[in-house]
Each structure stands twice: as C-alpha cells, then as structure tokens.
Chains A and B, each alone.
Chain A
C-alpha cells in the first residue's frame, strides 16, 4: 500500500515558546512527516516571559527538556516517544551534569543520543533537538 506522505508544521500551544515565530527566524518549531516528528534545536527559554533562562547548566537543561515536552505534547506526542536526541553543549565539561538531568527525565529506556561541544550564541549552555514518534491519533 502506497500513501501520499503528509508534511505539517508543529507549533507549541504556549506562544512564548514559539521562538522562531517570535523572532521571525526561517525555521518551524517542528515538522511532522508521516509517523515521525522532527523538532528544531531548542534552548532554555522561559515559558512565562519568553526570554532566555540562563541559570546554572543543570537548570538550563531541565528548562529545555520541559519546553521540548510541551512542544511534543502540543503535537499529541510526548517525551517518552522520543527516539533520538542530539545535544550540543557549549562546554564539554558539563557532560556529567547533563547525564544527571537526563536520568530525572528518562528513568527507563532513554532515547538514542549524540552529544558534542560547539560554539553556542547568546550565552546558551545547551541546545537540544529530537526525533520522536508522533502520537497515536491521526493528524
């Protein structure tokens, strides 16, 4: 059975977390294609004020993962449906702290993951993107 593969934009319910729209950037928060969701790289944005939340690195990572959960739930998916994550740290010395936070969010069957250290802008300590399975409900 062959099907026409649908492609649709995913946006967060909370408009403060719609960074690409608010800053007029040329990317979508996420794209659903068929059964998969691809999210753009996300940073530690405060969901109340919409600005950056540049606290300690562990808190930046928690904030980013909470925002990612919100983005996925806005599309009928969830963090436990994440398959693959790519993590960019500004400082590779934060790797152990990242793993501690990861255990809080992914106690069982964590996603596949690749981590590297790259230059980030605006003082962000972390940026995270993911591929997830879409929810059960058809789009």
Chain B
C-alpha cells in the first residue's frame, strides 16, 4: 500500500502553491516519507524567509501538523536530513532543533546545500507510522541488476555499488546520473535532458525488479544549481502523471560533471 498523505491544510501543499511536482508525504511499509519541508506560512502559503531559528521552528510546527494528520508524531521521526545553507550555523540549528525532539531524537545527517527559493533550512524526514502490515521479509537483501548492463554505470565501470537493493518491502536505488543506455557513456546535456534520461533509465531498472515508477515512494534530486529547479521540475512531471512521490531537491556538488543526480525508494 502506497498512500498519499495530503497536506494538513491546503496552504502547506507545495504542489498547489508553487507547482512542486511532489506529494506532501507518502506512507508505505510502515514508514512515512515526507517531502523536503521549508518555512511556509500555514495560513496563507507564503514563504516565510527568516533566520535559521525562525525557519526551523516554522518547519517543525508544520511537520507536527503533517505527521499528526497521518497518525504519527514528532517523537516517531526516524531519520532527518537537516539541510542548512552554511554549516557555520550548525549550533544555531541545533539549539532550535533540540526543542522539538527532546527525547530519543532521530538519526540525523546535517548537510550544507543550496536550498530552494533562498531558504536557510530544509528538513527531509522519515517517520514511523503507527502500525503496518507485517513486512515481507522473504527477500531479506537482494541486489537488483539492470536488464542492460551496459546502461548501468556501476556495472560498466565496475564501481563498488549496486544499482539497487531490495530489502523487505522496499527497493533502494543508488543515485543515478544521465547515462546513454546504448553506449554506457555519460549523456551530458541540459538539466531537462539529463532529468529525462535518468528517469527513463530508472523506469527500466525498476521494471527489471518487478516494480515501476508508479510505485516510487520517495525521490531525492541533487542538482548542480537550484537556479535550474524549474527545468528539472518540468521534465520530471512528465514521468509521474498522478500521485507523484514525496521528493526532496537540493543543490550540491555532483561527481563526474553531471548536472542532475536522482535516487529513490520504491515499494515492492
């Protein structure tokens, strides 16, 4: 079961307000995968740029609404990618952050990235749902191989990573860059072209594992510059016509001169 969690109030739906092609959160396999959250005014949907502290507080208030509307809560958060614009504000972030997760806080990685619309903070969250169906552990850990080995850079270049791993209810995909499936060479192009190539290859890899893009739960997009966000978003939406996955997009340094890199988690 892959359930879209709607925004707790319409103003917090970034797809509605800003055309971000993502669902607020997706519940699957006992987990709730939230899209990257920034400081949005829950009353009117306006972006509320502020300090690291004020943005973090607003995000946590909205996150509380979102998780509670899905039967979870802040104290059920499992993992956070805490994105900040500059690591120099690490202790400022911590001071606000700890007020919302005072006991048994989630696992966390703090990442200094370029955040959408010039925000200082973004939180990318996975939380535990209240209950789940018993997991299918018939395949405790299984490597997923692509149908066309040439089109997979990890196989062609003998890189020490697997294209995808199935574990229990989920398949976790490695970050994918744009590769020409015919030659196995990098397909450098515009952000839109690289996005299309990656998602085409991703769809084929998922079908090799008996899944499909329609079952994607959460997507992580790394982009070399957030100035190209719209170019990515417009190409991306072609591949997820209905109920798009939860998604987090951030600007980061990419390996090998690529402009876009995309990873995802899929429900088996």
Contact = CB atoms under 8 A, between A and B. Distances in A.
Given A31-B78, A118-B113, A133-B141, 13 more contacts: A7-B76, A26-B98, A33-B128, A83-B165, A92-B254, A114-B220, A114-B263, A115-B255, A116-B261, A117-B254, A118-B111, A127-B109, A131-B172
A34 B128 contact: yes
Nearest to B252: A116
Contact of B174 (A30, A34, A81, A114): A114
Contacts of A4: 130-131
Interface in B124-172: 126, 128-135, 137, 140-141, 143, 159-165, 167-168, 172
A28 B78 CA distance: 10
A45 B113 CA distance: 23
Nearest to A131: B172
A1 B172 contact: no
Interface size class of A (residues with CB under 8 A): 35 or more
Interface string A66-93: 0000000000000001011010100010
Contacts of B31: 33-34, 36
Interface of B: 30-31, 76, 78-80, 86-87, 90, 94, 97-98, 101, 104-113, 126, 128-135, 137, 140-141, 143, 159-165, 167-168, 172-175, 220, 222, 252-256, 261, 263
Given A27-B106, A127-B109, A38 B253 contact: no
A48 interface: no
Instruction: Report which residue of A31, A84, A112 has the largest number of chain B beta carbons within 10 angstroms of its beta carbon.
Output: A112
21 contacts: A4-B131, A5-B130, A7-B128, A31-B79, A35-B137, A35-B168, A38-B78, A38-B79, A40-B109, A92-B253, A95-B256, A102-B160, A109-B162, A110-B162, A111-B162, A112-B163, A112-B165, A116-B175, A117-B254, A118-B113, A129-B107
